Amino acid sequence: MSKIRTAFFCQQCGYESAKWNGKCPSCGQWNTFVEERVQKDIPGKQHDWKNNDTGNVRHQKIINLAEVVTNEEKRLLTPDNELNRVLGGGIVAGSLVLVGGEPGIGKSTLFLQNALQLKQIKTLYISGEESEQQIKMRADRIKSTNDQFYLLTETSTQTIFSEIKKLQPQLVIVDSIQTLHTPLIESAPGSVSQIRETTAELQRFAKESNTPVFLIGHITKDGSIAGPKVLEHMVDTVLQFEGDQHYAYRILRTIKNRFGSTAELGIYEMTGTGLRQVTNPSEILISQRDDLLSGVAISATMEGLRPLLVEVQALVTQSVYGTPQRTATGFDLRRLQLLLAVLEKRGGFHFGVKDVFLNIAGGIRVEDPAIDLAVLCALLSSYEDNAIANKICFAGEVGLSGEIRAVNRIEQRIAEAEKLGFHKIFISRYNKKGIDLTKFNIEVVPVGRVEEVYQQLF
């Protein structure tokens, strides 16, 4: 008979303790320990996916590092170029990918849509939240069919691996990891021990059978993926699907990736028939306007290897309350306060008695330091109530002494601005070294100080 014991688990980080503690020694949080029943070592139940008749299971042995043959990872290219980009060039065989996002943002739709488009891949979609009829209704709305697509509405990993052994799928999608439970752990689905153990079982399956597995996960109210933090350490890739439900656009962002860059970004538009890839996001992030308006500046930014042109909107008004307001949407508020201090100190502009509101158009969040120059110019434009001429964009980081610092990948930024029909781009004078400006048809204006930018624009 199997030995049953109880243990205390931290609901924040997954730390296991033999006794209850008021404060978690791992993450430092208070009152997070919950007692759960733990059952270990059920013979014959841990490797139900293994089939000794096939050669898919990898057998482990000790090997010298010099004997390891390095080959490029085998990647499965999907019809979705945005998903390929954030994964680093496609789905890696044997990888474990965790996808998190707000409820109703479109996680299930995105991966159901991609699974239905992989016509030559045998895909198993495991759902613990929806019935077959609900998934069929969504597939009918997407208007896509696939004879190699299979459904399983089950939450027990014992049953799931039994069905996997029969089907031998080439791709597995689990929606969601918080609904699964394993007979190895006697606690409720969604608890720390259940999430950790079910993820560990799926990880062993992915690595030993070389089958890619996607895990869709819930998120907490503060935006982090629900469950212990160790869940993100166990998987190979963590993707965040984000966006405002009041906007039509969704952003798939890479947080962790063992097989590629962590700065990539994919953009989709939510439609009645599923998610549509946005191949040229610069056009949707810049509002189409005929009249010149003050407080608007265009910045050439980079998200991973992709250049984007985004619109920065600023509003500077006289403060009617005792303390001036500072509000930023899509931009770091502390960075905004820093730029206001630079303008106050180096430029002599009295923003200390003004309310300042800043917005990045399109509902995205930008962390590229090259947006500093556009934010500064939008603030000056609104302060002077003088519009910046059309077809001018900016790319530069602003230092504390008021200097315009160089940014990376400046040639790609210039090329993107030229492709979208801009006539002039302001860059740092320190970016001129090593680039050939004669191959561009756009006018490149190098500047070194905040004062120079103000004199040339206003």
pLDDT of res. 186:
75
pLDDT of residue 58: 55
Count Cβ atoms below 10 Å from residue 393 Cβ, excluding itself.
28
- 55 labelled ligand-binding: no
The pLDDT tens digits of the residues spanning 122-131 come to 999 999 888 9
- 174 vs 168: CA distance, rounded Å: 15
In the chain, pLDDT over 70 holds for what percent of residues? 90
Give the CA distances from residue 453 to residues 309, 343, 378, 394, in Å, rounded to whole numbers and listed in that order. Answer: 19, 12, 12, 10
Contacts of 290 by beta carbon, 8 Å cutoff, 6+ apart = none
Q: Look up the CATH superfamily of 74-279.
A: P-loop containing nucleotide triphosphate hydrolases (3.40.50.300)
Rounded to two decimals, the pTM is 0.75
pLDDT at 168: 92
Q: Answer yes or no: is 94 a known binding residue.
A: no
Peptide bond into 176 cis (omega under 30): yes
**Cα(251)–Cα(365) distance, rounded to whole angstroms?**
10
Q: Is a pLDDT exceeding 90 seen at residue 338?
A: yes
d(CA 200, CA 173): 15
Nearest Cα residue to 142 out of 50, 93, 79: 79
Round to whole Å and give the CA distance between 417 and 425: 8
What would the mean pLDDT of 330-354 be, rounded to a whole number? 91
For the chain, helix (H) and strand (E) counts, in that order, are: 11, 24
Q: How confident is the model at residue 54 (pLDDT cuts 50, 70, 90)?
A: very low
What is the spatial distance between Cα 16 and Cα 37, in angstroms, rounded to a whole number?
Answer: 12
The mean pLDDT value of the chain amounts to 85
359 touches 310 (CB < 8 A):
no
105 marked ligand binding residue: yes
Query: What is the arithmetic mean of pLDDT over 235-254?
Result: 83
Residues 82-113: pLDDT tens digits? 999 899 889 999 999 999 888 888 889 999 99
Is 102 known as a binding-site position?
yes
Rg, C-alpha atoms of the chain? 26
Q: How confident is the model at residue 290 (pLDDT cuts 50, 70, 90)?
A: low
Which residue matches tokens 């019809």?
A: 79
177 or 9: which leads in pLDDT? 177
d(CA 68, CA 401): 52
Identify which has the larger pLDDT, 448 or 222.
448
Instruction: Confirm whether residue 107 is marked as ligand binding.
Output: yes
CATH for 286-457 is 3.30.230.10
Strands 96-101 and 213-217: what pairing? parallel
How do strand 185-186 and strand 33-39 relate by DSSP bridges? antiparallel
Q: What confidence score (pLDDT) does residue 280 get?
A: 79
- Find which of 198-207, 358-367, 431-440 is predicted with most confidence, using mean pLDDT: 198-207
Q: What is the dihedral of CA 9, 11, 13, 16, to 10 degrees?
A: 0
Is the pLDDT score of 193 beyond 90? no
